[in-house]
Amino acid sequence: MGAVRSQSLPGQKTFRRTPEQDPIGVYIHWPFCLSKCPYCDFNSHIALEPIDHDGFRQALLAELSHMAALAPKRQVGSIFFGGGTPSLMPVQTVAALLDHIAALWTLQADVEITLEANPTSVEAGKFKALRQAGVNRVSLGVQALSSSALRALGRTHSVEEAEAAIAIAQAHFDRMSFDLIYTRPKQSLTAWRQELKQGLDLAAGHLSLYQLTIEPGTPFARWHAAGRLVLPDEDQAAAFYELTQELCEAVGMPAYEISNHAIRGEEARHNLNYWRYGEYVGVGPGAHGRLNLNGARVALATYRDPAAWLEQVRQYGHGLVSRNPITPSQQVEERLLMGLRLIEGIDLAPLAQLGWRPADDVLQMLTSAELLQYDSENSRLRATRRGRLVLNSVIAELVR
Ligand SMILES: C[S@@+](CC[C@H](N)C(=O)[O-])C[C@H]1O[C@@H](n2cnc3c(N)ncnc32)[C@H](O)[C@@H]1O
Ligand code: SF4
């Protein structure tokens, strides 16, 4: 299955770049997991019946065709299989989807193709075949490098399995990343220092480090409300964040986004495209898209429930539940929410085109509080480390 990796770019020399022709991202959502982790509110489900793999493959293929009809003639810069647990997908499905994307659009020569994987031995056993299918980057949900923490997070893999999966991933893929969750219940700063150092020793260029979020409606939210989960307070969480930045910077893996760290050049292009407000399509249950269609910015979303989505695609060839233009003020808010997550910050020129500029007094207040930095020469705004910790409040002030 070499089609995906070896595709050339016919006509590349004469390709004219307009904003509508910047490379797009393609997101594919696989909504199933073997078990549901008690902290997680992603659109992920334990399949109660055998999964209709043929049906899902056909539906994902059909929805990709629908998206390509909406957004034809784009170049694809990145593809991301997210979940749920896409490492549970049959490799033939992954291969068929990649072939179809290559047939529908033009792939950039260095297209990034990432697949999220749980670090179990069964899934790591599929890495070679996934590489052959065209996947060229994996992102492993390691979550913790402590057995007791893995148990408390309801994870089904061990530390040893995770370490083995990291090694297998590094043997098969030039690019890989893994996720750790910190500020966990009962976690001390000293224990995190140890664990992160171990993580940095194992890492190969990219790490996602998330502070635990208590998501409404999850078992963690109930246990937290009942006082069964004691989490670091705001000041302690800030100390965890500071330590994380310090240790990552010391080994040349600074943050390029609030929770993402990479050596230069290893940043996840697919996610960078979201944060830089590029175009992307999403297929599968609960997937989102953003497209520039006929001069309008359009938000697309599909049915979240896997059975409902499958039924819709069977009937209509797509599972879209909404396809709405985004107003200029919503676009401003989205651009700020996305762009200020990045250490590089945000270019204010596109915001000016939407009729928005920060009010002088608010800018003055936020820069003197050292929450924002404003580079007037290049018209760029960036959040400081302190500002990134309270980003939602900073943005609320900006758009007030
Ligand atoms: C779609 S999920 C996981 C992919 C894969 N199923 C797994 O669990 O390994 C992507 C990442 O989000 C992070 N995550 C999920 N829920 C979180 C929460 N409540 N707080 C912080 N991080 C969370 C985890 O690190 C996870 O690896
Ligand atoms: S964290 Fe991953 S494995 Fe756990 S329920 Fe969420 S998507 Fe599934």
Among 235, 257, 274, residue at a domain's last position: 274
DSSP designation for 16 = P
Let me know whether 166 and 56 are in one domain. yes
Radius of gyration of the chain (CA): 21
Check residue 7 and give its pLDDT. 34
Report the 10 Å Cβ neighbour count for 398.
Answer: 19
CB 81 within 8 A of CB 94: yes
3-state secondary structure of 25: strand
Torsional class of 41: left (φ above 0), alpha (ψ -120 to 50), beta (otherwise): alpha
Per-residue pLDDT tens digits of the chain, which is 400 residues long: 333 333 333 333 333 444 457 999 999 999 999 999 999 999 999 988 899 999 999 999 999 999 999 999 999 999 999 999 999 999 999 999 999 999 999 999 999 999 999 999 888 899 999 999 999 999 999 999 999 999 999 999 999 999 999 999 999 999 999 999 999 999 999 999 999 999 999 999 999 999 999 999 999 999 999 999 999 999 999 999 999 999 999 999 999 999 999 999 999 999 999 999 999 999 999 999 999 999 999 999 999 999 999 999 999 999 999 999 999 999 999 999 999 999 999 999 999 999 999 999 999 999 999 999 999 999 999 999 999 999 999 999 999 8
Check residue 66 and give its pLDDT. 98
Residue 283, beta-bridge partner list: 28
Check residue 48 and give its pLDDT. 83
52 domain residue, yes or no: yes
Q: What is the 41 CA–ligand 1 centroid distance (Å)?
A: 9
285 domain residue, yes or no: no
Let me know whether 173 and 254 are in one domain. yes
| Distance set, CA 144 to CA 19, 130, 162, 166 (Å) | 40, 25, 9, 13
Let me know whether 18 and 91 are in one domain. yes
196 domain residue, yes or no: yes
Give the whole-angstrom CA distance, residue 244 versus residue 390: 17
CB 80 within 8 A of CB 25: yes
Let me know whether 231 and 359 are in one domain. no
Give the whole-angstrom CA distance, residue 273 versus residue 338: 10
DSSP designation for 303 = -
DSSP designation for 114 = E
Return the sign of the alpha-carbon dihedral for residues 255, 197, 85, 80. Answer: positive
Q: How many domains does the chain have?
A: 2
Report the 10 Å Cβ neighbour count for 53.
Answer: 12
Q: What is the 83 CA–ligand 2 centroid distance (Å)?
A: 8
281 domain residue, yes or no: no
Q: What is the 298 CA–ligand 2 centroid distance (Å)?
A: 29
Report whether residue 305 contacts ligand 1, using a CB cutoff of 6 Å.
no
Return the sign of the alpha-carbon dihedral for residues 139, 141, 143, 146. Answer: negative
Let me know whether 107 and 169 are in one domain. yes
Q: What is the 119 CA–ligand 2 centroid distance (Å)?
A: 12
Q: Token digits for 132? A: 């052959």
Let me know whether 204 and 76 are in one domain. yes
111 domain residue, yes or no: yes
Let me know whether 345 and 269 are in one domain. no
318 domain residue, yes or no: no
Report whether residue 84 contacts ligand 2, using a CB cutoff of 6 Å.
yes
Give the whole-angstrom CA distance, residue 62 versus residue 238: 46
Let me know whether 386 and 251 are in one domain. no
Check residue 88 and give its pLDDT. 95
Report whether residue 398 contacts ligand 1, using a CB cutoff of 6 Å.
no
Give the whole-angstrom CA distance, residue 159 versus residue 150: 8
Report whether residue 212 contacts ligand 1, using a CB cutoff of 6 Å.
yes
DSSP designation for 342 = B
Domain that holds residue 397: 328-400
Report whether residue 222 contacts ligand 2, using a CB cutoff of 6 Å.
no
Report the 10 Å Cβ neighbour count for 361.
Answer: 8
Let me know whether 107 and 44 are in one domain. yes
Among 258, 274, 290, residue at a domain's last position: 274
Cα 12 off chain centre by: 28
109 domain residue, yes or no: yes
CB 317 within 8 A of CB 66: yes
Let me know whether 264 and 334 are in one domain. no
Check residue 287 and give its pLDDT. 98
Let me know whether 103 and 184 are in one domain. yes
CB 114 within 8 A of CB 137: yes
Best mutation site among 30, 34, 37, 46 for ligand 2 pocket (most ligand atoms within 8 Å of CB) = 37
Q: Token digits for 283? A: 């297929």
Burial group, residue 115, by CB count within 10 angstroms (0-12, 13-18, 19+): buried
Find the CATH number of the domain harbouring 132. Answer: 3.20.20.70
309 domain residue, yes or no: no
What amino acid is encoded at 383 in this protein?
A: A
Among 274, 303, 337, residue at a domain's last position: 274
pTM of the model: 0.94
Let me know whether 118 and 210 are in one domain. yes
Residue 209, beta-bridge partner list: 180
What amino acid is encoded at 296 in this protein?
A: A
